Structure 1
């Protein structure tokens, strides 16, 4: 998959965040009050976090929980209600937005106003601000419309560059607030912007009325991260404005209807980068502003009231918990209803988090701390209180850091006696798919159990926890990545090597209906994002400082007790982080590509390593190209071979076919000191040249473009076929379009079959006996959640090279599938 940017703090990535983000927002059940929070985030390209609980709300007796990103189903606002036994069940899933791009997620912000629900959009074009839903008397929801924030694309050929790439992968976030008859939507970017909509009494639709203009705009100050609106007054937080953050107040002239800036409220305490304005709320002539980073992140909430005499907002109260704690981030979220308020402190107790309840005193001028809500089973990093909402008899708080970023919410109830139950109950997404072993499941009438299929049988399925990934950990949330295979030449046992955080899980698949988890090829503080095998040794690369660990797989012969943990026999430190690993098994050379973060990166191109002695890998050379999208010279993936194809000019040479993001580069790397580029080729509708594989006669090269479906440049899954009979003149001779809009990922060829992992559509098999006219002959959908949109979660790699015919497929948030295509 393409490289994604990591950011240690959210404000460095405003407007550049991907669909798997950990976020916070707050809201109230009162129709005129909403506050929104987008907090600290660390995003890893390996981690497909769901962010469940990043925004929450209460509608009558129901609760709303947002899951903004793909992973175990589409991004959606989930509506929960109590069943007859008192448990919470999903009653509705609001996430099928016909007006938006296929597969996009949602921004982590919702607003509730009476029977209306507004869910912030996240399309890359920033055309839409929010999606509008309404609940009827039977508690059913319908999608009314989407609020247009920008303009529709003009249909022309857009400029495609790194900025456009990040706009697709990390669309600018939006936030939303509502007070009933008005909706306020912000788009967070370089300078941000906020738009007011009013509902037409005639048509019932929402009409844009104003775009806020502010007096002191600063780039990337977070303008719009938090919003609130009440009648003719609105407040917009800018938590990175100036030294400590600020909040803008806007007011509407009742005669002209014009909105103007009325005040700029600066942080009352001068602590740098303290996030004043991270959360805001307004109720008539009262404004609440969160200041979670003040005084060693022992946060506060500051209350301001309107002073008619001075015609300004005056500080009224500083709200803090009874016992303040360093790093508690108190004030990161809050919600109030009538005379009570909940305040989130997601950093307290080593990041377990907590919720503080306050009530107004009898005079109504001071908030008094009453009690602390908590839930048993919280762990460091859960960040409970990142979002909060309160209703008459139920309160809900998000813990988007729980389960490694998958997220949970805590629910607190107030029974008839009027006293809150301060000990809450956890609510999370449905559990992982069940393990399937002990006997094959035939593909019959288009189904193999719950999985859609055609001409592919299911031999076994191991979910994440059966691959040694621990529930509740970052490892589990990270899911799995690449998969490769090894056959022991002495015992003929077949093993799957499955990439994950912390190393690679080893699975004995010799009996494919009874796979056995053998253990872990472990690496400290690293990942196994891409795996290859040479001379009975496993090599892999990953993010952080993984380097290239080397494992002698023959050690498995002496293992009798499972699971076992094997540490590396050697480690190549010529690189630190890399995105993919290429090995020419004929010559004994490895090529980490997309390297960064340490060592000799070769500009992200072909970093050549001699591995003929596997445990003493040595640097051999570099090839840095001129092509690239993330940066010039970056190679995303490649196939390198001892050339035996039809071009006589290059017989016996070592040739690499490099997917360089913006071009297919063919290069002669026989002389490691002087590699020679042969050709570069591109094509119409190019978005991101990702990976490819040669036919066995080396005449054709099948290639995938990872982002053409996601950007709309291809309406269905597209595979490109190149005739490379003349290496210096590759010719695009065919394009194959699949039956869904799913994004294509890694593909491999064995004989006259091509096996491709197509994320949400799972495995696809093409008959390529006529190379210029491929035909789909089978598929197996590894993500049984409905439609198959273009997004970057699902089937990652399909490995077809076992002599037994067993096909192994890794699916990021599901696990490992063992399959058998028809005829095998």
Structure 2
């Protein structure tokens, strides 16, 4: 169902903002939009009373920002912007340029704020591991002591990755952390595969100005391709010993941009080998009949990475590195190596990346305009500020990325809405590749990219602009799936929770199977692999997909479902006749015919219960 919602009267303008929280009234009377008009077009504006449009998902809750995390005189102020999210147990940790917030999300329809911890410094990108919280700090206003003032000098400034002991939320303790030359715009947490690692690793990406060596020893802003001491053309690998996290330090200034893709060609730097990924500025234009036309906008030079997604179970990382997309070998966590790189003449600024679950595909985002510009207008090309989908293929030279298509939010937004591809994660539906993704003031879009050449939207949520007359930065920074629901960090407004609802594109069984995947922790840029245990929801998901594809229809479809229902009823009876149960599975498998996914899932389920 697609609908618009007009909020109830109540909070109108800044004067109505509560003293304790940024209150929001966003659920109201529903009116059905005409089928031929996307309900996201023409939504009414307002920070506390914007209209919403929603399709195939449900807004469960909106939590306004707590006291101290918004400026009543400037609700779009980036100094108080909500940013990225990390999850652990029943908690969501919401980053903010001014610190972080901790919500109990055990009831996704009613999150409870447990802690609002003030610690300014910009970005606020978060990761969690056990009792440790890691936080990116980029701006020069960040203080070592987390205080709000005065403005720090070289002896009191913190720029890098903060580390907190969060074992007691009532007594959060900041550990020394790791100062870096360009601060930390984003970071990615790598937890080595296996039980009880001795250390975890952080890949740090700093994109701001580089400090002088007088402020932090070893810093060097030289962009020379022959100076191996430069901070440019590298990322920092930080090792955090888990028995002594206070001793965390940079263990590798990793030269993933070099000609050889790592630090092994140090001796060649005198010959200009520091950057093997040259090129910047305006791009050549593809022919008009090319799938990747028109091209032509300015592209950033690749000297640092914006964001890196690490997938330890498959030994790969994907670096979104300004002008290039990188595929990394991370099998040795402290020594990543670039194994392939791609450029795209429609991409201005490679921003982030997401693998599919089996590591055969990767999606890169383009943050054209830096996230603060309106880049989803009707006049903007559909392949600018979009996702680029690549298949990862095995070749004689190793793994390579092959471009497949673009996906962009499939509805125009206004000139008053900052909108561009941003952060998202996988929705773990068996047999499909599905992603939920934030688009700033374009809202949230859920899309299927199982066929990388034909990605298709299946659900969305959108609010009207913050203002009807000017662009006030806001919207969803990140929207992630976590243990059965979706959670969005809203830059100006607060914290949203959502549920997927059944539709022609997504069945109840598929949603139920996705909810069976449960993680103890989720740091999206430290991507974790999932595997579905045999269940009736999984089998029925494949049945629904076969019906949708038209490969299982009519009497055969109904009989498969009936046999599965009977088998489940027998098993639930307490003392099932195993022979009778097997007969039902055998009959379901026989009727499924050539639908291999259904047959394999049914057999796996029978083996697990026999």
> Could you tell me the TM-score, scaled by structure 1's length?
0.30
> Could you tell me the TM-score, scaled by structure 2's length?
0.39
Higher share in strand: 1
When Rg is computed on C-alpha atoms for both structures, the one with the higher figure is: 1
Higher share in helix: 2
> Bigger relative contact order, structure 1 or 2, given CA contacts below 8 A and separation 6+?
2
